[in-house]
Amino acid sequence: MHIAHFSDLHYGAATLEEADRCFGAAVDWAIAEKVEAAILSGDATDHGLDLHEPATLSLLAQVRRLAGHCPVLMLQGTFSHEPPGTLSVFRLLDARHPVHVADRIEQVALTREGLWQASSSWCFEDVPAGARLLVSCVPTINKAVVAATVGAADAPQAVGEHLALLLAGFAPTNRRARAQGIPTVAVSHGTVLGSLSEHGVPMAGFDHEFSTGALFGAETQAVMLGHIHRYQSWEQDGAAGRQCIAYAGSIGRFHFGEEGEKGFLLWEVSADAGRCVLVPTPTRRTIDIVFEGRPDLETLREAIAKHGVEGAHVRVRWTVTDEDRHAVDRAAISRLLAGAAQAKLEGRIVPVVRTRAPGISQLGSLADKVRRWAELTGVEPASVLGCLEALGEKAPGEIAAGVLSSSGMAARGEARAMECAEALP
């Protein structure tokens, strides 16, 4: 079967333009290529949406258009992006083909008549008659429920262990389907240990839901994942045939600094092999221009000429000390980026850290305090103490006259006086 795999559409008020342009192009492509089924692996919305919002109406229209061509399965994603119940309205779409919403752990069969048949419990006891595709669905897991059961400290490890057992529990049904020549797919939304984020950061730790070994343990030919916004895949050949795990990544480029192509996956899944290819979408162009210190306008002009910012989304970042924060000409930078679709200026202010002398207030004499200060700041204490003694015993005029007479040269005396004054704390 040829299956289109979309993920992380993130329809919302701020993301509507990017999401709808990219998903609309992807739906056009899927229809033109005559895919036989479509799977959305979570986070279709960016946050809870009201039914009257433009983002809701646009997403409903695109999914209905897709369902007019082939059966569609939508998986529950992250609760903060897709609050529980958000996807229920898609079950009501009146399209040529059905839309199935997988918001619980279950197995779903696509029949030869083009209908979705869901298991009554977490899995089928046997492969349904007339099935041409078997999908094992694992929506986002509510970790709070797990934490309430086993305790917060043990919850991360417990989630991974239970999901590994669950995926292994799907294996017998998938083996029977494979023996009947039926392609098998697993679809889920979560983080694979060792995967890379869209910013190139390895996902390491004990609170990630999956390992590649656990996902391969379901013995499906394809594992279609959502949540990470970067396309990546893992493959292995074994007793279950050629298996492939892949993140489709986000449909568009929603943040600055995201690496790699954006798009959706075209899968070719048979009873003994799964393969996928990334199909790029027309994402927006983002440019990052970074200065270690104050932004240099001439360097900025050169970067603009090199990259061409017309119609692009540009972010300029810099790092300055607190004293230089007002020296950055934001208006001039904005004028240079007038042709950009968006100009985002981000300045990082480094606070001034002043050296303190711990314990100096507890010292008895001013001379002891000066010695302590000189020790911490790397100043020779003898000259400072000499100046301090002179200030305590003589008037300013006497000090100046003494310095001048001792040197015999007014210029040198004046310099010496200034040296003493600057050395004082």
Task: Write out pLDDT tens, residues 222-239.
Answer: 999 999 999 999 999 988
| Triad 410, 411, 414: Cα angle to 5° | 85
**Domain check: are 111 and 177 in the same one?**
yes
**Domain check: are 329 and 271 in the same one?**
no
pLDDT for 335 beyond 50: yes
**Domain check: are 371 and 265 in the same one?**
no
- Domain for residue 116, yes or no? yes
- pLDDT tens digits, 48-87: 999 999 999 999 999 999 999 999 999 999 999 999 999 9
- pLDDT tens digits, 201-216: 888 766 677 899 999 9
Window from 169-173, 299-303, 341-345, 415-419 with minimum mean pLDDT: 415-419
Residues of the chain above pLDDT 90, percent: 64
Beta-carbon contacts of residue 324 (< 8 Å; ≥ 6 apart)? 293, 294
Mean pLDDT comparison of 150-159, 223-232, 288-297, 360-369, highest-scoring range: 223-232
Find the mean pLDDT for residues 401-415.
Answer: 59
**Domain check: are 377 and 334 in the same one?**
no
Is 258 within 8 Å of 209 (Cβ atoms)?
no
Reported as a pLDDT band with limits 50, 70 and 90, residue 384 is confident
pLDDT of residue 417: 47
- Edge-to-edge strand order for the sheet containing 116-118? 116-118, 106-111, 131-138, 184-189, 222-226, 241-247, 232-238
- Domain for residue 152, yes or no? yes
**Domain check: are 332 and 418 in the same one?**
no
In the listed set 280, 296, 312, which residue is the last one of a domain according to the structure? 280
**Domain check: are 36 and 133 in the same one?**
yes
**Domain check: are 326 and 381 in the same one?**
no
In the listed set 280, 311, 328, which residue is the last one of a domain according to the structure? 280
Distance in angstroms (rounded) separating the CA atoms of residues 42 and 334: 37
**Domain check: are 320 and 198 in the same one?**
no
pLDDT of residue 360: 77
Domain encompassing residue 327: 286-350
pLDDT for 425 beyond 60: no
- Domain for residue 320, yes or no? yes
pLDDT for 168 beyond 90: yes
Find the mean pLDDT for residues 272-300.
Answer: 93
**Domain check: are 67 and 174 in the same one?**
yes
Find the mean pLDDT for residues 162-178.
Answer: 94
pLDDT of residue 240: 87
pLDDT of residue 239: 85
- Domain for residue 43, yes or no? yes
pLDDT for 104 beyond 60: yes
- Domain for residue 235, yes or no? yes
**Domain check: are 291 and 414 in the same one?**
no
Q: Which residue has the higher pLDDT, 205 or 136?
A: 136
**Domain check: are 416 and 295 in the same one?**
no
- pLDDT tens digits, 9-55: 999 999 999 999 999 999 999 999 999 999 999 999 999 999 999 99
- Domain for residue 160, yes or no? yes
Domain count, the chain: 3
Tokens of 44: 């279709």
Residue 109, phi then psi, degrees to nearest 5: -110, 135
Return the closest-CA partner of residue 284 out of 241, 255, 316, 319: 255
pLDDT of residue 409: 47
**Domain check: are 199 and 170 in the same one?**
yes
Could you tell me the CATH number of the domain that includes residue 176?
3.60.21.10
- Domain for residue 355, yes or no? no
In the listed set 280, 308, 332, which residue is the last one of a domain according to the structure? 280
Is 235 within 8 Å of 242 (Cβ atoms)?
yes
